[in-house]
Amino acid sequence: MNAVWKWARIGVCPMTATGRISGGVVPLNARAYEYFACYRLAHAGFLIDWLLPAELPARLPHLSVLITIGHGTFGDELRLALHQFVESGGVWIAVGSPCDAGDLLGVQAHAHPSGAFKQLGEGYAYAERESPAFQCAWETLHAFGGTAVAVSEDAEVW
């Protein structure tokens, strides 16, 4: 593991979490797949700051990387804080959904006429060029679930 990433200040926020038992543990009431993703991250060797959605505006300035997991909506305060975080060099990784800030990621979520997001099934992703998100040894990344999105014309996706 690269030393830069090992000591990065990483915040992880399951978007449906509503409470916590204590610091240093995955927040309570997250959906099952969000909890599973948190469990996997907890055992990846990173120092993680577990966050609740309500804490994000105040905590973003103190992070290097934000990982959101699942669906959620951002208020104006959080959208502004997230925009400033990304513009100042912070890394936002949205797992499963761009929430309602797809414009910051250069994507637009696909929705049914009812307004519900279209969901993905199981699949594989691979990098067509060098990317910090993929290691060459992996070849492909197996994924499941999430919101279907389309990449904006002017966006660069790795």
Domain membership flag for residue 155 = no
Does 38 score more than 60 pLDDT?
yes
* Predicted confidence (pLDDT) per residue in 129-158, tens digit: 676 655 555 566 656 667 777 788 877 665
Q: Which domain holds residue 43?
A: 3-109
Q: Could you tell me if residue 63 is inside a domain? A: yes
150 domain-assigned: no
Residue 28's CATH number: 3.40.50
Residue 33: inside a domain, yes or no?
Answer: yes
Q: Is residue 7 part of a domain?
A: yes
Residue-averaged pLDDT of the chain: 80
Name the token pair of 18: 């509503």
Contact 109, 97 (CB under 8 A): yes
DSSP one-letter string for 132-143? TT--GGG-SEEE
At 90-120, the pLDDT tens digits run 999 888 888 888 888 888 888 888 877 777 7
Is residue 147 a part of any domain in this protein?
no
* 67 or 45, which is more confident: 67
Q: How confident is the model at residue 51 (pLDDT cuts 50, 70, 90)?
A: very high
CA angle 119, 120, 124 (to 5 degrees): 165
| Domain-embedded: residue 87 | yes
